[in-house]
Structure 1
Amino acid sequence: MRLKLIVLILFTLYQCGSGVDKSTFKTCSQSSFCRRTRKDLPGSSKFAVLPETLKTSDNFVELDLINKANDHLFILKLEALEDNKFRVQIDEKNPLKPRHRVTDVLQDSVKSGNINVDTQDGPEIVFSWGENKAVLTNEPFRIDFYQKDVLSVSVNAKRLMRFEHIRRKSDGEPTEDPEEWEEMFGEFLDSKPNGPEAIALDFSFPQADVLFGIPQHAETFVLKSTEGDDPYRLYNLDVAYYELESKMSLYGAVPVIYGHGAERSAGVFWHNAAETWVDIWDSNKKGVSSVLDLLTEPRASEPPAARFISESGIVDAFILLGPTPLDAFKQYTDLTGSANLPQLFTLAYHQCRWNYDNSSDVMDVAANYDNYDIPLDTMWLDIEYTDEKKYFTWDLQNFPDPLAMIKNLTDSNRHLTIIIDPHYKRDDSYFFHRECEKMGYYTKNVTNKDYEGSCWPGPASYPDFFNPTVRSYYAQQFPVDKFKTTTKDVMIWNDMNEPSVFNGPEKTMPKDNIHYGGWEHRDVHNMFGHMQVMGTFQGMIERDPNQRPFILTRSHFAGSQKYAIVWMGDNTAAWGHLKNSIKMCLSEAVAGFSFCGSDVGGFFDNPEPELVERWYQTGTYTPFFRAHANQDTKRREPWLFPEKTRLVIRDAVRKRYSYLPMWYTMFYEHEKYGLPVMRPLLAHYPKDKESYRIDTQFMLHDLLLICPVMDEGATKIEVYFPSKDGQKDGDVWFDTDNFQKYDKVGYETIQVDYKKTPAYQRGGTIIPKKENIRRTSTLMKDDPYTLVVCLDKNGSSKGTLYIDDEKSYEYRKGKYIYEQFEFKDNALKNSFATTPDYDTPSTLERVIIAGLEKTPKSATIEYDGKSQELKVVSHEQAVAIENPGVNIAKEFVIKLNY
């Protein structure tokens, strides 16, 4: 009874709070390993390489490393990888017990390169691979990485390395902190059976002006100095009503960081799943860094640097040497994977609420989208659809015939997504609980009993998803012969998977819980949600091997993008949270998570109509486009707002649908090349220092520049048009609404009314669209295409279009069309890298060309040995070639006639 009361109280606070309760979550000063590590001063570490221990192979070298403060030995392994990457691993040489090494993250395709030992006499050892080299300084230990003879990353330049070897409390070694062996936070005791085992290492970026990455935080895109402040924390937590401009943990933890300057980009991926804090030093502090003695032209300030501090595990760091931002982003996804090509409908609009409580409500909402002529592809159900929060069940009183409801949706070409959380009700009548308890599938507590916490069902336990057998059992629940009240087209939402535990320390699982293999939860915490979505993905593949799964996850780690998409969690209906959605999604995108979005309108509180309008207009251009709200808020479906707001929402959603061919092509190219879909300006304008800190604008691929209106009452907005050379040479831009041309570098004041979202197509690009908007994306599958051709200063442009069945994995067998377009010398032509192996009835309906010096009299299309004259008409500040009529999969040439 007492536990149920606690759950009820926490449930009420979760719904009705007005701000994050900071006392629930640790600061660095309240964390023993962070507190003691942060006392280390630059230059304090005593690690040295023993060069006489060098062992070599084709791909890696190993040496002993000694901590001269206590003579403890470590093994340093240096491995060259293909494509300007390097791996640094440090572990104890003879540990009392093995230390945790992360698995289930890296791609199987990660390939080693050949490493050469160029110099091994004297105080340094020089290694090279390709155009890169690493200079290992023996004492004090340091590694400097060069790309084409330019120093790009330096390891331990600040000499802040720490590696606490595993010991026995009875060994009597001196302690630095009274909580090294047991730690209290509030009423919670962490027993710490292994004692102190923290690691830390610093990385300097000598060519960088800014650092960015390490999501998930509600902060600016460019990371801020942590001197005099808490470090950024990476520890997946359920933080309702999270604060903006905060370094506190949120739901995801992706330990990859990048440094960027006008000449170089580089990155570091810290391959560790334990709680991690990250200190940041910016480049404003004057002085000479120890790393700069290798530079021929010392900078006037210290270079930006980051220090990763983890509670356990080993040092396992990947050095990404760029040299461009896009190179570094690709090097990271080469390691951890890119998102799979999603089904096209998932890129359309989604409607969610906690909760639609019955079948009639679901169908009424879907029907009203039709009544008000607003496209919709997916309805979502939160936890209330279940029978007493028991997942893989339905509340058959409110949803008496789930299959009939699902069929009604699919018959109208819509989909349903339902929630499956990782906590399972402790109820002997519940099949999933009975089996997990019987087979020992639950995570264990420190006494090796099934761990029991509380969440939405009340008393609950948590499957140990790290155990392959448990993941397999969980996956077996998804096929329709087991989950009989679903179909193969129902998609899945994994929430609360940090894991969220209402009565646990920091609302999560105790660190001394035990997982598969005997590893403590502290070693793997940030991967708990990752392991669940691995199981969900496996289950959906077993349900239908040829249908691409769609999974939304709240908790995520490096590599989770291979299985699921992410959103920004429980945000608030406030203008600051609208702005924050862009900053956070940019940070996620460079960390592999291109398919990202926020709850349109805000999860908590009630948005005013203007905020709703601007959020929908922004959501039009973010990869994941879903409205969602807390059940304690007013209903806010579009037709419940004033007519003006409803029409703004309608226009925003319809605009999204017109761009679906572009979105689908971008995500195909993301899977193919590993580059972000949503990009910071510096990705394409790396020399433009003004662009580095801009996180209110973003690029979609290299095609569109988006500057959403995110201030209340705004009637004008400052749009920044970036420079290619860091000075005055810029691109040509065309307003997507009227094709007005902007040919300048710098800020431009743009007037905006309530309908206007500044969006600009880059000159030199061709974007595919569909302008016949239907009520769902599936109904648009065979509709004709429009090509929007925006010319660069040379009067040319290029673009691509990808087409397949929008659902299956047949494209991996070659069943697709991937088409290139080029406009040059007053002619548009297409080509195919491989012969199309997919039939489509879709035709080319229209070609819009912006940037021509004069209007052509007509156009001529040639294909299949035929020639036909086409009409050319004015179209805003562009021209339109109407009704070419050619099948989009045929080769053609359209020539302008003057």
Structure 2
Amino acid sequence: MAEVSQPVISVVPDDECKEKFKKSEHVAFYRRQMQGPNMQHQALLDTMVLTEKGARFELLEQVTKTRLLLSVSPSKNETVRILVDELQPIKARYRVPDVITEEPQCEQLRLETQTEDSVTLSWCAGRHQVRVWRSPFRVEVLCENEVMVTFNSKGKLWFETLQHPPRATSHSSELQEDDASLLWKETFKQFVDIKANGPSSIGADLCLHGFNHVYGLPEHADSLKLKDTRDGEPYRLYNLDVFAYELHSRFGLYGSVPLLVAHKPNKTLGVFWLNASETFVNVHYSPSDHQDDQTPPVKRRRVQPQSDVHWLSESGVIDCLVLLGPSPQKLFTQYAQLTGYQALPPLFALGYHQCRWNYNDEADVKAVDAGFDRHNIPYDVIWLDIEHTDGKRYFTWDPVHFPEPASLQRHLHKKKRKLVVISDPHIKVDPDWSLYCEARDGGHFVKDRKGQIYLGSCWPGESAYLDFSSPAARAWYSRCFALDKYKGSTPSLYVWNDMNEPSVFNGPEQTMSKDSVHYGGWEHRELHNLYGFYQHMATVDGLITRSGGSERPFVLSRSFFAGSQRLGAIWTGDNVASWEYLKISIPMLLSLSVAGIAFCGADVGGFVQDPEPELLVRWYQAAALQPFFRGHSANVTKRREPWLFGEEVTAAIRTVIQQRYCLLPYWYTLFHQAHTSGLPPLRPLWVEFPQEQSIFTVDNQYMIGGALLACPVTESGVQEVQVLLPGSAEIWYDVHSGKAYKGGRTLSLPVTLETVPVFQRGGSVVCRSVGSGSCTAEFKKLPLSVTVALNSQGVADGELYLDDGHSFSYRDRKAFCLRRFNMQSGRLVCRPASDEGTFDCDSVIQSVSILGVKSKPSTVIVHVSGTKDTSAAFEYTETCCRLTVSNLNLKVAQAWEIKIR
């Protein structure tokens, strides 16, 4: 089979490329719902049934007399599930499986009041209520007697019931071309989509009362706060391979998380729309003041702000979960309880990754590896793209360029480094290739609507696509990673899932036809956005099984859905080496973080085009302060290893990578928090300062955990940046100089090429490694320094999490160490932060720096449990009020305290 020629990569998508993709006007179900007229539903209150799982009602559409079934289910974690399905469907409609990790534990609803027009039900000792109105039908969710959310506020509930196909003509297998049958197929360019169940779209609107800031709905190359869509396209959730994507766009990209988060000063709530088919979301903000030019100013009435959110999906059921918060932290936990907590990555995955499409051969890989050592730049992982395979056959190696892959991995492993290889979902159609034959004979490929293997074009040429929605196909694929099956692999080989939207070069919108058929007879349209999620799941299972269940996997995926956070990492796809793409990467990563995808990053330097040296440095500086840190570039770009741009650039990049490695104890602790509480490491400012309305739209700077504020430089040639320091009662310390600044102000900070604006928040404690090394394994052995930043009350608090960094022993044997540092009244105390956890930990604290000490102490006393007090050597810097206590050698796992007198 001939290989497909590689597409020419241009820097900016041309008009022809843009025309590959639909706008909302090209989508029939979107047009039907938006052009109306609206369906008119009425709740039949006398059909109410109260059960242990909530309440059920029948709904009647008054024109067609169609009956639907409404279920309202509150849960103990303060979420409410609103589910609408057909009362008597001709067959089951698709409900998204595998995303919700376990069904929420339901609360018993109690009948409060019932009238002819409404029914009010309560739970949580009456603190929360739902009120179902008869006509016009709507559901209100109340907290403390205040309406927070109204479902069907504007009467846009839409539900097209499944139908039997129209009669086919005797002369053709195609459907008749009458008005009714036109709804059963849709044409876009040369592609015809035959709809086996006819029109089956759904939609609903929700009013979020009192909110005029909403976030989430990744992935889009747009601002953190979602824009009002009245002036253009809706937000689209439809996973697509969009090369060099357009900026400031609501167009759907590689992944989809249908979670919307609303925030106001005293409340945060979320709306999770559990649907994997093509989905559009319209957001309309109502102003806080009613400005009617015809009304005299004195008579203008105050109108409560609100956000109206309209969801429209092609198929499935309405499965809508309202997360009631009320705090950002509580909401993140509620969402994680539904869809899973962020996987705790192996420590090496938080280091620096070096990637290119493609490193030429084994000698090239070894030369790049040696280059990092020669230039004293730490890194942990080197990556291989598609050219490492034998003719784009995944699970193989090019026999000329990579003849000894196991030897290459062992070479890296001796230096405690890893290799990552790519594994895409398309399989080269090659009857002489055993892996293709196994998948074919096992029935593991997606079928077309005629029952044959679905064929499309991708990197190998003609390809078949694995049906990862099938448990049997996932199990088969997982076994492909076994060491005896994947020849040339070793335990230090990890995996990258790319092109898994899925990308089909000759398909509609460069993806799979919606009328292709998956496991269980479900059409691709039902589960399109789940495809990459399922490949990610199968790959993760394969690596875990490969290790006998003992080792944590690392798998990067380009495509994702809600729940992907429990599998591993994602990145923002094929970006461009420009200042605009660097700048947009920050709100993109913040949007992902708010929607639960915490282990995220963007290709450092831009995937295509050649970055100027200044841009490359600034990108490294930004990415070193973000969760997933990988340099990556296309095969048409110039090589850009960090030492190829002159010593000044090399030195600047070396510095920020080394600083990243020194900060790994803090990053690892943040990922422990994400793994246990759902709190993302990367946070918009409003998450930490929820009352401060002036920062609700800030997306050029962010918090790393609760302690560090980062403001990467994202513009060329600047000599000064404006840094917003939130909280008028806060103190912020420059991490480089130690200088203190009052919060509640915008700071003008002079910058050079070496400047990376980062501030530590007063009241926090941050742990760093001291010294240098070549990779995470070496940094893990280094002693630690503790930086205590005092707030205005002289208090600070923080945690440090440690485990072996690679296994599941932290989970299975509670082999971890979680320590708490607390300082008040001049005493810094180190104690266990949890009753759980025992870990034989040799890590020691070498030094402690305390910022905000008003005067030089006379003595510093160290008390270690079970020993006599000793005096410690210290240094006091008056200019920045910093006290440094050195030569401590205090064991992290031991109880101790430092007293300042």
Normalised TM-score (structure 2): 0.95
Tell me if structure 1 keeps the 8 A contact 2:345–2:568.
no
Residue 37 of structure 1 corresponds to 33
Q: 1:298 to 1:524 in 2, by over 3 A?
A: farther
Residue 13 of structure 1 corresponds to 8
Q: How does 1:722-737 map to 2 (within 5 A)?
A: 722-723=726-727, 729-737=728-736
> Any idea what SS the aligned residue of 1:654 has?
helix
Aligned partners of 2:842, 2:121: CA distance in 1, in Å? Answer: 57
Tell me if structure 1 keeps the 8 A contact 2:384–2:420.
yes
569, 575, 583: which is aligned to 2:573?
A: 569
Q: How does 1:196-595 map to 2 (within 5 A)?
A: 196-284=199-287, 299-300=302-303, 303-544=306-547, 545-595=549-599
Aligned partners of 1:741, 1:692: CA distance in 2, in Å? Answer: 24
1:51-87 Cα shifts (integer Å, max 9, x gaps): 1111111231111011112100000011111121010
- How far the C-alpha of 1:275 sits from its partner, in A, is 0.3
Aligned partners of 2:488, 2:595: CA distance in 1, in Å? Answer: 36
> Any idea what SS the aligned residue of 2:659 has?
helix
1:591-617 Cα shifts (integer Å, max 9, x gaps): 111111000000010000000010000
- How far the C-alpha of 1:357 sits from its partner, in A, is 1.7
Aligned partners of 1:173, 1:586: CA distance in 2, in Å? Answer: 49
870, 892, 897: which is aligned to 1:868?
A: 870
108, 112, 118: which is aligned to 2:112?
A: 118
Counterpart residue type for residue 667 of structure 1: F
Higher mean displacement: 423-432 or 655-664 = 423-432
Query: Within the alignment, does 1:747 sit opposite 2:746 as a pair?
Result: yes
> Any idea what SS the aligned residue of 1:13 has?
coil
Residue 817 of structure 1 corresponds to 817
Aligned partners of 1:142, 1:522: CA distance in 2, in Å? Answer: 29
Counterpart residue type for residue 497 of structure 2: N
Residue 637 of structure 1 corresponds to 641
1:316-350 Cα shifts (integer Å, max 9, x gaps): 00011111222222211111011111111110111
Aligned partners of 1:69, 1:98: CA distance in 2, in Å? Answer: 24
Aligned partners of 1:559, 1:806: CA distance in 2, in Å? Answer: 23
Residue 79 of structure 1 corresponds to 73
Q: Unpaired runs of 5+ in structure 1?
A: 290-296, 724-728
Residue 827 of structure 2 corresponds to 827
Aligned partners of 1:179, 1:701: CA distance in 2, in Å? Answer: 53
Aligned partners of 2:163, 2:130: CA distance in 1, in Å? Answer: 33
1:808-850 Cα shifts (integer Å, max 9, x gaps): 0001121111000101111111111226511122211000000
Aligned partners of 2:113, 2:178: CA distance in 1, in Å? Answer: 40
151, 157, 161: which is aligned to 2:153?
A: 157
Higher mean displacement: 862-871 or 208-217 = 862-871
Aligned partners of 1:284, 1:453: CA distance in 2, in Å? Answer: 48
Q: 1:368 to 1:174 in 2, by over 3 A?
A: closer
Higher mean displacement: 525-534 or 872-881 = 872-881
Residue 170 of structure 2 corresponds to none
Tell me if structure 2 keeps the 8 A contact 1:721–1:730.
no
Residue 698 of structure 2 corresponds to 694
- How far the C-alpha of 1:45 sits from its partner, in A, is 3.4
Tell me if structure 2 keeps the 8 A contact 1:274–1:313.
yes
1:770-797 Cα shifts (integer Å, max 9, x gaps): 0212111101222211100000110010
Tell me if structure 2 keeps the 8 A contact 1:354–1:629.
yes
Aligned partners of 1:428, 1:622: CA distance in 2, in Å? Answer: 44
> Any idea what SS the aligned residue of 1:587 has?
helix
Tell me if structure 1 keeps the 8 A contact 2:73–2:81.
yes
> Any idea what SS the aligned residue of 1:304 has?
strand
> Any idea what SS the aligned residue of 2:481 has?
coil
- How far the C-alpha of 1:168 sits from its partner, in A, is 3.3
1:242-269 Cα shifts (integer Å, max 9, x gaps): 0100011100010000111122211100
Residue 293 of structure 1 corresponds to none
- How far the C-alpha of 1:15 sits from its partner, in A, is 6.0
Q: 1:177 to 1:626 in 2, by over 3 A?
A: farther
Aligned partners of 2:659, 2:182: CA distance in 1, in Å? Answer: 57
Aligned partners of 1:465, 1:835: CA distance in 2, in Å? Answer: 38
Matched length: 878
Aligned partners of 1:176, 1:157: CA distance in 2, in Å? Answer: 32
Counterpart residue type for residue 452 of structure 1: L
Aligned partners of 1:669, 1:109: CA distance in 2, in Å? Answer: 23
Q: Percent identity at matched positions?
A: 37
1:743-762 Cα shifts (integer Å, max 9, x gaps): 13031211111111111111
1:691-749 Cα shifts (integer Å, max 9, x gaps): 111000111111111111001111111111123xxxxx331111111111111303121
Aligned partners of 2:837, 2:50: CA distance in 1, in Å? Answer: 48
Instruction: Calculate the aligned-residue CA RMSD, in Å.
Output: 2.0
Aligned partners of 1:56, 1:167: CA distance in 2, in Å? Answer: 30
Aligned partners of 1:39, 1:251: CA distance in 2, in Å? Answer: 29
Residue 759 of structure 2 corresponds to 760
Tell me if structure 2 keeps the 8 A contact 1:454–1:502.
yes
Q: 1:16 to 1:582 in 2, by over 3 A?
A: closer
Tell me if structure 1 keeps the 8 A contact 2:94–2:526.
yes
Aligned partners of 1:855, 1:835: CA distance in 2, in Å? Answer: 38
Residue 27 of structure 1 corresponds to 23
- How far the C-alpha of 1:169 sits from its partner, in A, is 4.9
Aligned partners of 2:569, 2:497: CA distance in 1, in Å? Answer: 10
Aligned partners of 2:323, 2:792: CA distance in 1, in Å? Answer: 34
Counterpart residue type for residue 286 of structure 2: S
- How far the C-alpha of 1:287 sits from its partner, in A, is 5.5
Normalised TM-score (structure 1): 0.95
Q: 1:15 to 1:552 in 2, by over 3 A?
A: farther
Counterpart residue type for residue 550 of structure 1: F
Aligned partners of 1:597, 1:817: CA distance in 2, in Å? Answer: 28
1:398-431 Cα shifts (integer Å, max 9, x gaps): 0111111000101011111111100000011211
Aligned partners of 1:15, 1:791: CA distance in 2, in Å? Answer: 51
Residue 777 of structure 2 corresponds to 778
Aligned partners of 2:119, 2:738: CA distance in 1, in Å? Answer: 58
1:507-531 Cα shifts (integer Å, max 9, x gaps): 0000000000100000000000011
1:104-148 Cα shifts (integer Å, max 9, x gaps): 100126322222221223211111111211111111111111122
Q: Unpaired runs of 5+ in structure 2?
A: 168-174, 293-299
Aligned partners of 1:19, 1:888: CA distance in 2, in Å? Answer: 57
Tell me if structure 1 keeps the 8 A contact 2:288–2:302.
no
> Any idea what SS the aligned residue of 1:800 has?
strand
Aligned partners of 1:383, 1:170: CA distance in 2, in Å? Answer: 45
Aligned partners of 1:646, 1:561: CA distance in 2, in Å? Answer: 33
1:449-483 Cα shifts (integer Å, max 9, x gaps): 00010100000001111111111000001111111
Tell me if structure 1 keeps the 8 A contact 2:210–2:304.
no
Counterpart residue type for residue 147 of structure 2: L
Higher mean displacement: 481-490 or 598-607 = 481-490
> Any idea what SS the aligned residue of 1:252 has?
coil
> Any idea what SS the aligned residue of 1:282 has?
strand
Aligned partners of 1:111, 1:732: CA distance in 2, in Å? Answer: 42
Tell me if structure 2 keeps the 8 A contact 1:84–1:322.
yes
- How far the C-alpha of 1:38 sits from its partner, in A, is 1.4
Tell me if structure 1 keeps the 8 A contact 2:22–2:509.
yes
